[in-house]
Amino acid sequence: MSNEKFKLHPAAVLINVVKALKDLLVPIAIIIVANGFNFNFDYRSKDFFGEMVPLMILSVVLLWTIINGGIKWWTFVYWFEDSELRVEYGLFVKKKRYIPFERIQNLNYKEGIFHRIFKLVEVQIETAGSKNGKPEAELTAVTRAAADEIEIRMKYAKKQQAIIEENEQTIIEKVPSTVVHKMQIPELLLLATTSSGMGVVLAGVFAAVSQFAEFIPFDAIYDEVAFLIKYSFIAVAIIIALVLLLTWVISVGFTCLNYYNFTVSKEQERLIITRGLIEKKRVTIPLNRVQAIKIVENPFQQLLGLASVAVESAGGGFSGEPNKKIILFPLIAKKGLLTPLEELFPDYDFSLSSHVKPPKKALPFFYRIDFIWFVPLVGLISYFFYPYGLMSLLLIVPIILLGRWQFKTTGYTLYDNQITIVSRVISRVTFLAVKKRIQVTQGRQTYFQKRRDIGSAKIVVMSGMTGASATVRHIDQQEVEKILCWYEK
């Protein structure tokens, strides 16, 4: 095997600089805002030095970012030797990383704006030792042919596919992938409408307004709003509708950026997920690394018969996302959910609908914990804002209703080597795991639960650093023991 060393494409300098600046965007904005957008270029002014300090700091940071990006590209080399991918980088402190091909679990790809301009790709190499969602090694900018060569050598080392000799080169036969699911434009619009994206956009608007409050003429705006309320409720309704429409449009924009052309494909025993409009991402998930499956339905989606599906993976994920929960289907109709899931995960049974429910005596426990923090809060509000603060007592009703809703949703099912746990905080979550993937099963019983002979059971599967878990709360204690005995066997 040749020991020829390869360098990254020169575009890696630009990409490294842009990445660093993106990470520094918030600190730079804070410096500019804290300086009141004042930059004094008159060196004879007595305030010149004080007002130009932020600009000097920014200039030094930008200069260092550019130099550092160039150093990373100049010193970074990789090569193949002894069935390993070897990486070396660093100017004063040389760092070397040797990654055996058979230890590589995933090769994830990312294509940003500059990658597409120069027809390049970023390769992220993941192994079992990768932590916090960070790849073991990262090739910032290489050609597609170079990325394919890494994948070919990895497959050769793992002996996953037949080897063909052609033109004195060893190549691997490509196995065609089948598309399992692809999101369409109507689904993207529904996802933007029913997800929490609109709330995030509104929160972002309020946060921005709070930062620039001193520049906003609130008195004039208040006078205009008061005039509109006095003479035209229709105009106020139109303004509110326009604000909500603008929020929805922004939410749709963010959703399209993240999930445009979201495609799930299956190639042999692995899943390939691609998504993104401006920055295209590709992640590979070996099916044997999937630890659990999670089906989530928020109230709006549940009302419309929709759901999202995620998988908890012991390896794999999109770069920069430490959580190993990988979105498999961002939005899909529940009636069309069964077929693709059964095709991908034949070991699971998704048709189970009857669950063991908590007993009626457990109902108070579903809202008792909420009253622990709620009662003192209501007392303080009622005392300091009397008599209008007494209206906070009305919040007792939605808390009780939410508790009853959680009570009716909660349940579990044991079926051969599979456990299905259904729970709710606000969204309905169905957690499915097979016994061989469960790392820990534990029962829990508080003093008050013991008096009612009820308890809670929790399962943990390996996912990321801390694992993913599901808990069935406030069921009969004998049901808790049943779960523990099922796991022991």
* Token pair belonging to 224: 């205009």
User: What distance lies between CA 298 and its chain's CA centroid?
Assistant: 16
pLDDT at 465 over 70: no
pLDDT by residue (tens digit) across 82-124? 888 888 888 888 888 888 887 887 788 888 888 888 888 888 8
pLDDT at 318 over 70: no
Predicted local distance difference test score (pLDDT) of residue 151:
84
pLDDT at 412 over 70: yes
Provide the total of helices (H) and of strands (E) in the chain, helices listed first: 15, 22
Question: Can you tell me the distance from the alpha carbon of 65 to that of 28, in angstroms, rounded to the nearest whole number?
Answer: 13
Question: Can you tell me the distance from the alpha carbon of 458 to that of 464, in angstroms, rounded to the nearest whole number?
Answer: 18
Predicted local distance difference test score (pLDDT) of residue 167:
42
**Residue with more model confidence, 283 or 58:** 283
Mean pLDDT value across residues 147-160:
77
Closest by Cα among 303, 285, 288, 296 to 421: 296
**Buried residues in 93-132 as b, exposed as e (16+ CB within 10 A):** eeeeeebebebbbbbbbbbbebbeeeebbbbbbbeeebee
* Token pair belonging to 157: 């080392």
Closest by Cα among 164, 171, 150, 170 to 104: 150
Closest by Cα among 311, 264, 313 to 133: 313
Share of the chain above pLDDT 90, in %: 13
Predicted local distance difference test score (pLDDT) of residue 419:
93
Name the strand (E) or helix (H) holding 2. none
Residue 395 exposed, middle or buried by CB count within 10 Å (0-12, 13-18, 19+): middle
Name the strand (E) or helix (H) holding 80. strand 77-81
Predicted local distance difference test score (pLDDT) of residue 481:
93
Using 50, 70 and 90 to split pLDDT, how confident is the model at 449? Answer: confident
Q: At what angle do helices 233-259 and 185-194 cross, to 10 degrees?
A: 120
Looking at residue 275, the DSSP 8-state letter turns out to be E
Predicted local distance difference test score (pLDDT) of residue 431:
94
For the chain, what's the residue count?
489
247: how many CB neighbours lie within 10 A of its CB?
Answer: 18
Question: Can you tell me the distance from the alpha carbon of 320 to that of 124, in angstroms, rounded to the nearest whole number?
Answer: 11
Mean pLDDT value across residues 277-289:
82
Q: Where are the beta strands (DSSP E) in 232-391?
A: 263-267, 270-275, 280-286, 290-297, 306-313, 325-333
Residues with Cβ within 8 Å of residue 139, at least 6 apart in sequence:
8, 78, 122, 123, 125, 146, 147, 150
Mean pLDDT value across residues 465-475:
82
DSSP string, 124-139: EEEETT--TT--SEEE
**Residue 362 region by backbone torsions, left for phi larger than 0, else alpha for psi between -120 and 50, else beta:** alpha
**pTM given for the model:** 0.70
**Residue with more model confidence, 213 or 184:** 184
Closest by Cα among 281, 297, 286, 298 to 345: 286
**Residue with more model confidence, 360 or 40:** 360
